Amino acid sequence: MPDQSGQLTLKSLQEAVRSAAAFRLRAKLSGAGGDGDKVFPPTYVGGVYAVEDRRIDGKVVRCALLDSVQSQANRLEELLLDAFLPNWRELDAGDTNDTSCDLPVLAVHIDNHGWVTSLTAPHRIHDAIIRDSEIKEGADGQQAKVRFRDSTIGKKIVGARLHAATALYKYCPTALIFGTWDSTAGEGLDSAKIPRAVVSEIIGVDITPGVRTASRIDPLGIRAQSATVYRLKDREDDWTLDETQAAVTEKGEKKKFGKKGKPSDINHGNVTPYMPRFDEKEVRKQNLGRLPDILESTPLELRYELCSGDGRIENRSAFRSDDVRIRPGAVKPGGITMAYALHTWTLSLTQLRRLRFPPAPANHPSSGSAASPESDRDDSARTVLAAVALYALALQQEKGYWLRSRCELVPEGSVALELIGGSGGSFSLGTAQVMRDVVNKAIQAATRSDLAWSQTVTRLAPTEKLQELVRASDARGPEPEEEEEETADAGAES
């Protein structure tokens, strides 16, 4: 139960972890521009939004995904990394000294790409970037580079499972919160798979799609047919009008910028105002013809009343014509207006209770403190994980809901944290600093139960073959810009 102030405390959190089903937050949000202002969902390959019908408050309404479960997990992890290690982007790659951090982090520096950590890699601790890195092991003066998964730490992590999660707790506890799957282990069904405990998602409710417009007015007035633009030899990211300086193909043809070498291919010249449309190639390639055209699928609602001698019965039905599918030449959607946005966040305490944290084997003694009953160890670790998850939520509430350009959301009112099951009740989440204090107390309690985690940044180095792959990819130059889309993460759903 909450204390008299309604604040979540370590004691109430410990009680919840032992007996409740979940913490839940449901927050209504609106666009920063207010009612009627457009917000822009993430755009998926082909220029489409993730739109579906959902049943909310007894009604079926059309909704658009504004931030997926995977994207929310990535945002929450980065908030934690920024809070525990604010300067992680600026760490000196050449510094061999340990870097203190109250949250366990593995980090590898890739030339020209910066730091990739166990909180920013798509598949977390089991990501291919970490798999294809190495760590120094051995006594001082006799250290050798070892492939990470073959190292002492790596072997413990590879062997971690739901019923033996101690290694993940010590070196990457966030994987136990947001989920992880060792999909490249080659062990099939026996590979490590930790379902996510935190599920967070933001949707736009009762939406009306809009259209996108595009234009460019060139102050220089450069005309489309004024010249042919070629790629410059020896530096193909630059351009030239001189054919003698142009790069050539294997067939000896001059390389044009873009398809036709127009000034617009190097961002010069006017672009007549227009509305982007689906072209035949992308409709065919992405199989978009199977999807409804949300601009043409108009929701309709039929309401009717039945009157009888002893009273009145009111009913309503909603239906929509989804027969109109995306076709070449159709206008692409551009933003939505909505009744409101809904952020749902849940922390499954039931999932946390599936985790076990056995002590180190007798031939690998741990810190040497008195052994703690296994149930106390398990509860202590679960409480820490729950506290970290709630701290990430508090950070998000403080930092705000800036999702992408033209998609900033603001809460419509105060929000409360509900406890489902157990003693129940509503809690005030409190400030991020309040939750950080709860995290620190939970960590101290777990340490007393002989469950201390690493408090340094574990530095890795990319293997030579990974560096070679990155260099080969970088040498090809940037890929053509794609529509913005959400990336997948490793949160196992089973």
DSSP per-residue letters across 6-38: -B--HHHHHHHHHHEEEEEEEEEEEETT-TT--
- pLDDT attached to residue 297: 78
> Cα(106)–Cα(329) distance, rounded to whole angstroms?
48
Name the residue among 445, 484, 459 with its Cα closest to residue 94: 459
> Cα(287)–Cα(77) distance, rounded to whole angstroms?
34
Name the residue among 9, 31, 27 with its Cα closest to residue 415: 27
- pLDDT attached to residue 368: 45
Phi and psi at residue 212, in whole multiples of 5°?
-105, 140
**Residues paired with 164 in a beta bridge:** 161
Name the residue among 50, 96, 72, 80 with its Cα closest to residue 209: 50
Chain-wide mean pLDDT for the chain? 90
Phi and psi at residue 398, in whole multiples of 5°?
-75, -40
Name the residue among 145, 200, 154 with its Cα closest to residue 177: 200
Name the residue among 164, 76, 112 with its Cα closest to residue 489: 76
> Cα(127)–Cα(489) distance, rounded to whole angstroms?
10
> Cα(136)–Cα(138) distance, rounded to whole angstroms?
7
Please identify which residue in the block is written with the tokens 């300086």: 245
Which residues, other chains included, contact 436 with Cβ-Cβ below 8 Å and sequence gap of 6+? 83, 391
**Model confidence pLDDT, tens digit, residues 428-472:** 888 999 999 999 999 999 999 999 999 999 999 999 999 999 999
Tell me the DSSP string of 171-239. Answer: H-THHHHH-EE-TTSS-GGGS-EEB-SEEEEEEEEEEEEEE--EEE--TT---TTS---EEETTEEEEE
Under-70 pLDDT residues of the chain = 1-5, 140-141, 186-189, 298-306, 308-322, 362-372, 478-494
Name the residue among 289, 385, 378, 277 with its Cα closest to residue 331: 277
- pLDDT attached to residue 487: 52
- pLDDT attached to residue 254: 94
> What angle in degrees, to the nearest 10, is found between the helix axes of 10-19 and 374-399?
120
- pLDDT attached to residue 189: 60
- pLDDT attached to residue 315: 63
> Cα(483)–Cα(494) distance, rounded to whole angstroms?
30
What tokens does 136 get? 């120094």
Q: Is the dihedral angle over the CA atoms 146, 150, 151, 154 positive or is it negative?
A: positive
- pLDDT attached to residue 360: 76
What tokens does 1 get? 């139960």
- pLDDT attached to residue 364: 47
Which residues, other chains included, contact 138 with Cβ-Cβ below 8 Å and sequence gap of 6+? 144
- pLDDT attached to residue 317: 60
CB 213: neighbour CB atoms within 10 A?
11
Query: Is this prediction's pTM over 0.75?
Result: yes
Please identify which residue in the block is written with the tokens 């403190």: 369
Please identify which residue in the block is written with the tokens 């913005």: 484
Name the residue among 360, 368, 350 with its Cα closest to residue 419: 350
- pLDDT attached to residue 5: 58
327, with CB counted inside 10 A (0-12, 13-18, 19+), is middle
Q: Residue type for 337, please?
A: T
- pLDDT attached to residue 198: 99
Q: How many helices (H) and strands (E) does the chain have?
A: 11, 22
Tell me the DSSP string of 54-117. Answer: EEETTEEEEEEEEE-HHHHHHHHHHHHHHHH-TTGGG--TT--S--B-SS-EEEEEETTTEEEE
